[in-house]
């Protein structure tokens, strides 16, 4: 695996054999031409946070369509809405001696926000456009190859 470093430029591409990884800055896009006879394989397309989703679109001839959205990878977990405490009922006038029990709220369970990572294979000729959401960087791992597997 090699990291490409150029003076004054932040490295955004990593190469490991035939696989390549890129970080696409929020609001930016990357175009990849896939010639006839080649396949473009996306193994990972994700983003951390953001309210919008990054998308991959494919153009073949004069037709363009979305084929994949970025999986959201959040490093934190979200808690569901807290369980409300029960409303206490009025205490009877002739209450038995001793303390009155109080309701204890149940802690909310943690919910993982990890989403499944999807992959896709696109046969050429085509133009693939990877667009990061306007509010989150996108991460993609892919390869162009003559084999579809």
- Indicate the burial class of 49 (C-beta count within 10 angstroms; 0-12, 13-18, 19 or more): middle
Domain for residue 45, yes or no?
Answer: yes
Q: What are 45's two structure tokens?
A: 């397309």
- Any domain includes 13: no
27 backbone φψ class: left, alpha, beta (φ>0; ψ -120 to 50): left
User: What was the pLDDT predicted at 18?
Assistant: 85
Residue 115: per-residue pLDDT: 81
**What's the pLDDT tens digit per position in 54-63?**
999 999 999 9
Q: How many structural domains does the chain have? A: 1
- Please state, in angstroms and rounded to a whole number, the distance separating the CA atoms of residues 87 and 41: 57
Tell me which residues of the chain have a pLDDT lower than 50: 1-11, 15-16, 77-83
Q: What is the pLDDT of residue 118?
A: 87
**Residue 8, domain member (yes or no):** no
Which residues span the domain enclosing 137? 23-76+109-149
Which CATH number characterizes residue 60's domain?
Answer: 2.60.120
Task: Please check whether residue 58 lies inside any domain of the structure.
Answer: yes
DSSP state of 1: -
Q: Is the pTM of this model over 0.75?
A: no
**What pLDDT does residue 3 have?**
44
């Amino acid at each position: 695996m090699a990291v490409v470093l150029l003076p004054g430029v932040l490295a955004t591409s990593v190469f490991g054999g035939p696989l390549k990884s890129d970080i696409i800055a929020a609001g930016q896009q990357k175009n990849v031409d896939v010639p006839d006879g080649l396949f473009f394989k996306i193994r990972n397309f994700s983003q951390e946070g953001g309210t919008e989703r990054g998308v991959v679109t494919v153009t073949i001839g004069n037709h363009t369509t979305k084929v994949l959205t970025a999986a959201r990878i959040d490093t934190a977990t979200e808690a569901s809405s807290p369980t409300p405490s029960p409303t206490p009922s009025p205490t009877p006038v002739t209450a038995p001696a001793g303390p009155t029990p109080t309701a204890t709220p149940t802690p909310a369970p943690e919910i993982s926000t990890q989403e499944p990572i999807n992959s896709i294979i696109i046969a050429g000729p085509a133009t693939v456009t990877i667009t990061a959401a306007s509010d989150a960087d996108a991460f993609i791992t892919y390869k162009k190859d003559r084999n579809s597997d």
